[in-house]
């Protein structure tokens, strides 16, 4: 029975018929295309290239969702999303771009933001939101620096600030590949310390150049106050005309800080924890100052104050060189090792190296005071050119394996001539 049923089904299917199109070939004889496979692939690529893919971002033009353009030229972003500038932007007053939402990515697309305001006001970009990323563009304003002027040396038109946030409540902000120049106050100023500024340049701003939590591979020059301020600063250059070149409440590495300010608060590089592989120079106070350690660095001060220091550290100085015109070359409240300190100061308080605890394998040279002054000095060389009886090549409680030129004041010495 099963075999009969199967046979019937097969026969039934075989009797079915389907409608067919015409089988008559088109008129004419088909001709070869004479194209290679590579040429066919190229034709397909050309067709694909002509297909327009929808731009996933929003242009900053009037009528775009989340975008408002004011009569002054100011553009306001009011919704989260990804936006891009379509041309150079010039405003007559207020800010160039106001970001009034969180979760915004802004591509400046290589264009420039300017202001024609006669009196510096507002910001090139004003941020009032969190989780914001801005990159790839320029902010140009009209402030100039007059080093010979009395009073305010930074004056001009345009913007007060380049990129600015007014409150630390706006967090997770990242700025990269942006240049700012000629602002009356701040360059790139991000209040929150979870922010990142990378690969940016700031030039000629009246107060602080760059402020952020992490600052990496940036340059801020000709700044009225601290050129660069942050927690972690690496591979940067900061030049201040009145404050500190680089100021960190954390660490500084592989950086250069310089100040021409002459006040006692003007320092080349200042850090709360550590300075490494860096160069700090000052005309006012310390070349390098750290409340922790200084390593593999060079600090130099041309200040005329005897309290100035080429390098100052609360804990330790290692593998470094400190020089002072009038004060002490290297000053550590802890130890100094494998370092060199020199002073040209004419006061007996001017020392090549001073360390509260110990100096090891180091060289100290003073024109008037002690070459090296510490509790314990070992395997070091101290020189004093001063004629005063209180000036010594080495002054220490214990000295081991050292050499002193210009006198010595050592309570206990070992392995010494």
Query: What's the pTM value of the predicted model, to 2 decimals?
Result: 0.87
Phi, psi of 32, rounded to the nearest 5 degrees: -65, 145
Mean pLDDT of 118-128: 97
Concatenated DSSP letters for 356-387? EEEEES-EEEESSS-SEEEEEEES-EEEE---
Q: Is the pLDDT of residue 331 over 90?
A: yes
Report residue 260 as tokens: 């021409």
- Tell me the pLDDT tens digit for each residue of 277-318: 999 999 999 999 999 999 999 999 999 999 999 999 999 999
The domain locations on the chain are 58-323, 324-417
Residue range 108-133: average pLDDT?
Answer: 97
The predicted-structure confidence for 203-244, as pLDDT tens digits, reads as follows: 999 999 999 999 999 999 999 999 999 999 999 999 999 999
pLDDT in tens, 242-261: 999 999 999 999 999 999 99
Q: Name residues whose C-beta falls within 8 Å of residue 150's C-beta, 6 or more positions apart in sequence.
A: none
pLDDT value, residue 251: 98
Asked if pLDDT for residue 370 goes beyond 80, the answer is: yes
User: Of all residues in the chain, what percent carry a pLDDT higher than 70?
Assistant: 87
Q: What is the pLDDT of residue 150?
A: 86
Over residues 160-178, mean pLDDT = 96
pLDDT top residue among 149 and 139: 139
* Range 150-166 average pLDDT: 95
Backbone φ and ψ of 214, nearest 5°: -115, 125
Q: How confident is the model at residue 30 (pLDDT cuts 50, 70, 90)?
A: low
Which single residue is written with the structure tokens 């009073």?
151
Q: Would you place residue 417 in the very low, low, confident or very high pLDDT band (cuts 50, 70, 90)?
A: confident
Beta strands in 206-339 (DSSP E): 210-211, 214-216, 219-223, 228-234, 237-240, 246-253, 256-259, 269-271, 274-276, 279-282, 288-290, 293-295, 298-301, 309-313, 316-318, 321-324, 328-332, 335-337
Residues 157-173: what's their mean pLDDT? 96
């Amino acid at each position: 029975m099963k075999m009969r049923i199967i046979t019937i089904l097969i026969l039934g299917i075989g009797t079915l018929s389907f409608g067919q199109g015409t089988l008559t070939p088109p008129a004419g004889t088909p001709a070869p295309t004479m194209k290679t496979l590579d040429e066919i692939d190229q034709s397909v690529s050309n067709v694909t290239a002509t297909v327009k893919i929808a731009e996933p971002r929003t242009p900053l033009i009037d009528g775009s969702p989340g975008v408002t353009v004011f009569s002054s030229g100011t553009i306001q972003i009011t919704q989260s999303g990804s936006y891009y500038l379509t041309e150079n932007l010039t405003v007559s007053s207020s800010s160039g771009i106001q970001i009034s939402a969180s979760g915004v990515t802004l591509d400046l697309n290589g264009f420039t933001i300017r202001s024609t305001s006669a009196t510096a006001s507002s910001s090139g970009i004003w941020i009032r939101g969190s989780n914001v990323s801005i990159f790839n563009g320029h902010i140009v304003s009209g402030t100039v620096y007059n080093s010979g002027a009395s009073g305010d040396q930074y004056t001009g038109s345009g913007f007060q600030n380049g990129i600015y946030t007014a409150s630390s409540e706006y967090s997770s902000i990242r700025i990269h590949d942006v240049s700012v120049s000629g602002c009356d106050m701040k360059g790139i100023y991000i209040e929150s310390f979870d922010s990142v500024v990378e690969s940016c340049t700031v030039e000629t701003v009246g107060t602080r150049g760059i402020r952020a939590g992490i600052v990496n591979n940036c340059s801020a020059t000709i700044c009225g106050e601290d050129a660069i301020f942050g927690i972690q600063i690496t591979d940067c250059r900061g030049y201040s005309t009145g404050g500190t070149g680089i100021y960190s409440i954390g660490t500084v590495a592989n950086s250069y800080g310089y100040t021409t300010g002459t006040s006692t608060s003007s320092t080349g590089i200042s850090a709360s924890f550590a300075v490494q592989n860096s160069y700090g120079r000052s005309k006012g106070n310390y070349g390098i100052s750290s409340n922790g350690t200084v390593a593999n660095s060079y600090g130099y001060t041309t200040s005329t104050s005897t309290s100035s220091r080429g390098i100052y550290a609360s804990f330790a100085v290692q593998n470094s060189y400190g020089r002072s015109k009038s004060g002490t070359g290297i000053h550590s409240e802890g130890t100094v090792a494998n370092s060199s300190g020199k002073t040209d100061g004419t006061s007996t308080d001017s020392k090549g190296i001073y360390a509260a605890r110990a100096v090891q394998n180091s060289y100290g040279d003073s024109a008037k005071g002690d070459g090296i002054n510490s509790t314990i000095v070992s395997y070091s060389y101290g020189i004093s050119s001063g004629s005063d009886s209180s000036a010594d090549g080495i002054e220490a409680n214990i000295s081991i394996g050292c050499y002193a030129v210009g006198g010595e004041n050592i309570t206990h010495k070992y392995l010494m001539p």
